[in-house]
Structure 1
Amino acid sequence: MFKNVVFGLALISVVACGSKPRVNLEEGALELKPSAQHQVIASEVANLLENYSYKKVPMTDSLSRIVFENLLKSMDQYRNYLLQSDVDDFKKFENTISQDFKKGDLSAPFFIFNVYSKRYLEAMEFALTQVDVDHDFSKKENYVAFREKLPYFKTDAELKDQWRKRVKYDLLNLRLTSTDKDSVDVTKHKETLRKRYENIISQAKKTNSNDAFQLIMTSLTDAVDPHTTYYNPSFAQAFNEGMSNTFEGIGARLQMENEMVTIKEVIAGGPAFKDKSLNVDDRIIGVAQGDGEFDDIIGWRLDAAVAKIKGPKGTTVRLKIIPAGQELSAQPKIVSLKREKIVVAEESAQKEIKQVKGEDGKTYKIGLIKLPKFYIDFEAFRKRDPDYKSTTRDVRLILDTLRQEKVDAVVLDLRSNGGGSLQEAIELTGLFIDKGPVVQVRDVRNRVEVDSDEEAGVAWDGPFGVLINRFSASASEIFAGAIQDYGRGVILGSQSYGKGTVQSAIDMSRFISATNKLLLKAKGEDKDPNTPNGAPEFGQINITMGKFYRVTGSSTQHKGVTPDVVFPTQYTAEKFGESSEPAALPWDQIKASNFTRVADLKSVTEKLNGIHQARMKKSPEYQYLLEDIEEFKKSDSIQEISLNEVDLQKERDKAKAKNRARINKGLELRGLPLWKEGEPQPKIEFDFVLDESLNVMGDLIRVVKK
């Protein structure tokens, strides 16, 4: 019942689509209005949250207040745009906003968003006027960029003074970071900053009603449950592509630069890579489908342009290109590409072989598998494609290779793996245990289903470790919890995120009545013209429909998975993870399922911890880690930046010297050449937790042999 669901921590960049906004030319502010489609969707989402989600939260005054706060925070988290008088005016909606969702009435949140967008444009346009002002860089004054803990500005004068300081800081920053000999001459810096602000204003004026609707709906769903999310069509498509680690298109990463879609990366193996006709920094100024007419896309929003460029595999797209380095007046070249399915290799499982010298003097080979997320190409799986891509299939092939290379142990690195497919969590566990329950899921009716690995045999039966951290969530926690409960391996790292809820990804068109669809069609609002090909026309809701439990009956909600060998971390439970979410479900437990442990590793993990702690007492690198954690904790305060050139330069020189000393200390600990003045900063990542985890695996190999 629950195997084809999604319950990861979804991190998706903000790219929305929709019709052009109406602009109030006198005030320069957007006058966005909800479409009839938005109103229907809002009502249906509110109904789902009240009657069908796991929490079944009614649209009440108390929920309204949370939605209201979420909306303000999502727009102006650092309180740099809205005035206190604006917020006071908004409070007339504070107790009714969620009830309005139920009725499909979005006038209040759209009113709030329009006021915010007006303030935003006012601030940016004022900032533009300050670029050519003569700023006194010898004056003693400070600037606070992150004002989340400070009150809203009471007057327009206070807000403008903040933006005067922001412009002064931006100019000073350009001045101090310039590598030119004439860095004292601010003319070039002013031109750079002017273009930056003009570009921000231009992009802000392209904000449309779909952008506002996405933000507004997120404020509602976050108030109910941190993992229930409504995605508009573009977001839904991006989420589903992320889950499958594939997308269909030309195989290029695009970015907006100076109103033009610019190629920033050509993905290896894709059509653009094979054709060799596109290069980094080429600009796309026109797009045509097959033999059709070209659309001029200069000045378009990035997401609207991407929707034209992407498309089903096997179809042809033609691009009008201004090659990198050439003027806009240059004759564009025409490139014709056949779209393909692109596999995002860097987000797939990858292997490495590490060598560790044990306490006994022997060298052990350890296979390291890094897994960024639990992915599966659902569409290919449903179509019974024999070559569908999935986590389990990729890891099985890696394990076959590692076995042939005769590794002594395997470590699966799940650090910062936010989850993904439940089906993959279960099947991946099956590569390490021989049949048995993996996870229990309780649904909205309190029915408990036990999901098991039903395939006999294992792909790896040798020493095994799983590495987790505070951002390992959902599928990562199911997998790590099952490995720990079965005694199949050792869990290393820090306490995991604590997300014990299950989301189903549902196409919203299933909940829109036939009558409403006909009414929307009559109004011409049944489908946005910029909806990407293949995206759900009414968007998608990832809604919490269940809660999962370990085979022992304990939920991972809030508590997460506690490693057998624990490393210190700067990410505390109070500020990071599920326990920091106000709307999160509580921890609880149910009856244990019927499972048989592979081994009782209690005595083994006690020995490993003893050896590990003894090693840490003598480890300078461990002290280095603890010092880094302390530095991180110090940064959690209101940061004031000096706008005095001499003082800021001193602060930066001090910070630079401190950073150099830290890096050199790490280099020295590893016997590497030190970073000298004038040399580029070494691109070296110190991963003490991984290094020591591999040492622990070396200990495990020896302990198991004994």
Structure 2
Amino acid sequence: MTKMTRFYTPLLAACFLAIPATVLVPSTGVSLPQTSVLEPSPRHEKVSRLVTTLFERSHYRNARVDDALSSKILDRYLKALDSNRLYLTADDIDRFEKYRFSLDEAVKRGDMDPVFDIFRTYRVRLRNSIENALAQLDEEPDFTIDERYYFDRSEAEWAKDEQELRELWRKRVKNDMLSLVLTNKEWTEAADILRKRYNRVLKRTDQLNSDEVFETFMNSYADTLDPHSNYFSPRNSEEYRIQMSLSYDGIGASLQLTDDYVTVLDIIPGGPASIDGQLKRQDRITGVGQGDKPEITDVVGWRLDDVVQLIRGPGGTVVRLQVLPGGAAPGDPEQVIELRRDKVKLEAQAAQKSTIEVDRDGRKVPIGVIDIPSFYQDFQAKTSGDKNFTSTTRDVERLIGELRKDGIEGLVLDLRGNGGGHLSEATALSGLFIDNGPVVQLKDSSGRVEILRDKQRGIAWDGPLVILVDRFSASASEILAAAIQDYGRGLVIGQRTYGKGSVQNLYDLNRYSARPGQDDFGQLTVTIGKYYRVNGGSTQHRGVLPDIELPSSVDVSKVGESARETALPWDEIATTGYDLYGAPAQFVPSLINRHSDRIDTDPDFRFLLDSIAHANSEDRSVSLHREAREKEREAELMRRLERENERRAALNLEPLEKPEDLDEVEPVDVLLHETAEIVADIVAGPVIARADDASKDVGTN
């Protein structure tokens, strides 16, 4: 399955491309070339009014659509159209200021004229940019000039005039060309690839329809309220339905559009990409090939839905993805990944167990590890009365029994990368480690609070317990981690979690039509509530803070709920009564001291820290001088080789001879192994009460 997200805005795939802009826009408006007519329809008027009503009545914020919101809507819409500030000028932005405090009244009335006026201006600039880019391909650029291209302009000032914008795009087109030349393509071949790419986008731009413009604006509108409220056009409502049914074959990845690249947002556990392990978050897909055919279709600048159609196919067939790794600069070496298409179902994302033996005082301490990719449940089998239905809780309980027989002395639940799933499974799974009680609280926009409880007596594991998390542990994962932490049942180790603590409801807008069966209005997801821990604090925005933090290359300021400008804030409500099993936090300082002593002498951990430091210091620009660019790439490869050989020397391993050998190095899960070491420290404690040692009740119901 190739999963869609709120970033699924097809028109933007045709709107972000490496091309210069030179068109002049009259102060009173613009005239369009002979392209598709972009005008709002009566249906857009109805949907706009309906969505506004639902937001005002149902959204958790109790949203008021007023001048303050109008200003935010304009900013979000401009960001959706030109996030890298490469098309519109400061003069354009000044002209759009007349709409800053009137969009609230416009959406209430269903008046989409301002929306389409802004977009028509944008499309004129885009179309002229493409034509100018094509003209630049007639002459080979001079790659001996010492200049740099800054590929991240998301926080830069808008270009003050046409001349400044033209210079920005001269460098971007030159970089597109150099990126291809550095892959051993002749200039003429590279020019041909770019010519096809630009012409393809020109065609897409001319074919944009009014529904795509409307959907982009409505999602900008929704995003001013929070990042998880979305509008789906009729076309994308069907795509969303297919996605939720998991009824087609793909690679098992969530994709979004970032500038002109289709980027991997997430890897779905249990899917082909997850099983293969090569495709990573933030990787950019630059080409798609089929089977054993040598041709790879360049997809830079394509619409997202068109790339998805190339990736999908009959089960069992092979798709080849040409990928620019996340964090790499344009023009860095790409890799080709072969994946065999298959269906992806939540039920196939089963938890798995393993055992790590840790040396302690001359003996091996067995630590059990259960990897939980998602919170899954065979809901259909459950509702049909099948007593053997599959679920995360049932699988984990079985695995714990098997690990008990293996003689484990401590347990790690690995929730890294677990984006959530069934809420009921998070509640039930918590019950394997506490002897019934509240697990999470839900509060709706009216202030009503509901407490979800584990009602089952008994526990499956009463020994030392650690929850391993990262920045991509979200939603249901955060509920489980927070419950274990609040009850004092175990420690949370890793990175601060995502912070997704909100609840959404899906509205079929066709139900509100005066002509059922005739109108097609699409669908709307609205945030209607928030999750709260048993201690009263929300998981929203803040996430779950680890008791012991492990390093990560993920920048918390750029990834996670707190990185989203319109995310709902953290707050707290009254605590609910629950039993405290212990106070493990008091032992954390001694555990951290032992942890620090270990990593100071661990070659793998030092290697990890060095990699993180290097990733966080990377420049956001690249040289446009060919020789300098080649030297930069060679120096980076040699740096990686040198670092790897330093690690290998410390471990008494044979050194690698050349950079190409780096691809054969098996990665070491340093964080998991260090977590097992910490659990072994806990076992030697004992520092955490067992689950049958519940001491006192905290708070009131």
User: What is residue 581 of structure 1 aligned with on the other side?
Assistant: 564
User: What is residue 461 of structure 1 aligned with on the other side?
Assistant: 462
Pair 1:693 & 2:687 matched: no
Q: Which runs of 5+ in 1 are unaligned?
A: 1-8, 256-265, 269-277, 284-299, 311-316, 325-339, 528-537
SS at match of 2:578: coil
Pair 1:152 & 2:152 matched: no
* Alpha-carbon contact 1:417-1:472 (below 8 Å) kept: yes
SS at match of 1:657: helix
SS at match of 2:167: helix
Counterpart residue type for residue 446 of structure 1: G
Partners of 1:40 and 1:701 lie apart in 2 by 63
User: What is residue 180 of structure 2 aligned with on the other side?
Assistant: 174
Which of 646, 650, 656 is equivalent to 2:627? 646
- How far did 1:53 drift? 1.3
SS at match of 2:247: strand
* Alpha-carbon contact 1:372-1:416 (below 8 Å) kept: yes
After TM superposition, list the pairs within 5 Å mapping 1:354-503 onto structure 2: 354-376=355-377, 390-503=391-504
| Corresponding pairs, count | 610
What per-residue deviation string (whole Å, max 9, x for no partner) do you get for residues 415-474 of structure 1?
233333322221221232221100111221212111101123333333322111233222
* Alpha-carbon contact 1:61-1:98 (below 8 Å) kept: yes
* Alpha-carbon contact 2:508-2:524 (below 8 Å) kept: yes
Distance 1:482 1:107, change over 3 A: same
SS at match of 1:449: strand
Question: Which range moved further: 51-60 or 695-704?
Answer: 695-704
Counterpart residue type for residue 441 of structure 1: L
SS at match of 2:208: coil
Distance 1:410 1:201, change over 3 A: farther
Partners of 1:629 and 1:372 lie apart in 2 by 24
* Alpha-carbon contact 1:40-1:516 (below 8 Å) kept: no
Question: Which range moved further: 357-366 or 86-95?
Answer: 357-366
SS at match of 2:503: strand
Counterpart residue type for residue 590 of structure 1: I
What per-residue deviation string (whole Å, max 9, x for no partner) do you get for residues 588-641 of structure 1?
322221211233323444442332233234334444343333333323x6x332
After TM superposition, list the pairs within 5 Å mapping 1:8-47 onto structure 2: 11=5, 14=8, 27=33, 29-47=35-53
* Alpha-carbon contact 1:347-1:372 (below 8 Å) kept: no
Question: Which range moved further: 582-591 or 76-85?
Answer: 582-591
Counterpart residue type for residue 82 of structure 2: D
Which of 595, 613, 617 is equivalent to 1:612? 595
Partners of 2:555 and 2:311 lie apart in 1 by 43
User: What is residue 199 of structure 1 aligned with on the other side?
Assistant: 200
Counterpart residue type for residue 508 of structure 1: L
Which of 527, 531, 538 is equivalent to 1:555? 538
After TM superposition, list the pairs within 5 Å mapping 1:212-611 onto structure 2: 212-233=213-234, 235-236=236-237, 247-249=246-248, 280=291, 303=305, 342-344=343-345, 348-376=349-377, 390-510=391-511, 512-513=512-513, 515=514, 517=516, 521=518, 526-527=519-520, 538-571=521-554, 573-611=556-594
Distance 1:238 1:344, change over 3 A: farther
Counterpart residue type for residue 577 of structure 1: G
What per-residue deviation string (whole Å, max 9, x for no partner) do you get for residues 214-238 of structure 1?
3212211111122222233555565
Partners of 2:209 and 2:85 lie apart in 1 by 22
CA RMSD of aligned residues (A): 4.0
User: What is residue 63 of structure 2 aligned with on the other side?
Assistant: 57
Partners of 2:4 and 2:558 lie apart in 1 by 18
User: What is residue 610 of structure 2 aligned with on the other side?
Assistant: 627
User: What is residue 334 of structure 1 aligned with on the other side?
Assistant: none
- How far did 1:111 drift? 2.5
User: What is residue 271 of structure 1 aligned with on the other side?
Assistant: none
Partners of 1:497 and 1:95 lie apart in 2 by 33
Counterpart residue type for residue 81 of structure 1: Y
What per-residue deviation string (whole Å, max 9, x for no partner) do you get for residues 305-346 of structure 1?
989999xxxxxx999x9999xxxxxxxxxxxxxxx9944479
* Alpha-carbon contact 2:370-2:414 (below 8 Å) kept: yes
Partners of 1:648 and 1:470 lie apart in 2 by 33
- How far did 1:670 drift? 4.7
Partners of 2:60 and 2:109 lie apart in 1 by 22
* Alpha-carbon contact 2:127-2:205 (below 8 Å) kept: yes
* Alpha-carbon contact 1:70-1:219 (below 8 Å) kept: yes
* Alpha-carbon contact 1:12-1:235 (below 8 Å) kept: no
Distance 1:34 1:354, change over 3 A: farther
* Alpha-carbon contact 1:247-1:341 (below 8 Å) kept: no
Partners of 1:640 and 1:301 lie apart in 2 by 26
- How far did 1:403 drift? 4.1
Distance 1:363 1:197, change over 3 A: farther
Distance 1:609 1:32, change over 3 A: same
Partners of 1:545 and 1:323 lie apart in 2 by 39
* Alpha-carbon contact 2:6-2:228 (below 8 Å) kept: no
Counterpart residue type for residue 533 of structure 2: R
* Alpha-carbon contact 1:365-1:408 (below 8 Å) kept: yes
Partners of 1:308 and 1:137 lie apart in 2 by 34
Question: Which range moved further: 376-385 or 89-98?
Answer: 376-385
- How far did 1:239 drift? 5.2
What per-residue deviation string (whole Å, max 9, x for no partner) do you get for residues 557-578 of structure 1?
3332221222244545544433
User: What is residue 267 of structure 2 aligned with on the other side?
Assistant: none
User: What is residue 142 of structure 2 aligned with on the other side?
Assistant: 136
Counterpart residue type for residue 160 of structure 2: K
* Alpha-carbon contact 1:466-1:489 (below 8 Å) kept: yes
- How far did 1:187 drift? 2.0
SS at match of 1:681: helix
Distance 1:132 1:214, change over 3 A: same
Pair 1:657 & 2:656 matched: no
Distance 1:279 1:318, change over 3 A: closer
Higher relative contact order structure (alpha carbons within 8 Å, sequence separation ≥ 6): 1
Counterpart residue type for residue 542 of structure 1: T
* Alpha-carbon contact 2:443-2:450 (below 8 Å) kept: yes
- How far did 1:673 drift? 4.0
User: What is residue 114 of structure 2 aligned with on the other side?
Assistant: 108
* Alpha-carbon contact 2:290-2:318 (below 8 Å) kept: no
Taking structure 1 as the reference length, what is the TM-score of the superposition?
0.76
Percent sequence identity is 35
- How far did 1:692 drift? 0.9
Partners of 1:382 and 1:117 lie apart in 2 by 50
- How far did 1:413 drift? 1.8
Q: Which runs of 5+ in 2 are unaligned?
A: 15-29, 256-269, 273-288, 295-301, 321-340, 689-701
SS at match of 1:177: coil
After TM superposition, list the pairs within 5 Å mapping 1:69-80 onto structure 2: 69-80=75-86
- How far did 1:253 drift? 7.8
Partners of 1:670 and 1:48 lie apart in 2 by 61
Partners of 1:484 and 1:660 lie apart in 2 by 41
Distance 1:44 1:665, change over 3 A: farther
What per-residue deviation string (whole Å, max 9, x for no partner) do you get for residues 86-112 of structure 1?
222222211111331222222222322
- How far did 1:353 drift? 1.3
User: What is residue 675 of structure 1 aligned with on the other side?
Assistant: 656
User: What is residue 329 of structure 1 aligned with on the other side?
Assistant: none
Which of 123, 128, 131 is equivalent to 1:122? 128
Partners of 1:659 and 1:414 lie apart in 2 by 29
Partners of 1:34 and 1:685 lie apart in 2 by 53
Distance 1:150 1:600, change over 3 A: closer
Counterpart residue type for residue 481 of structure 2: A
Partners of 2:191 and 2:559 lie apart in 1 by 39
SS at match of 1:248: coil
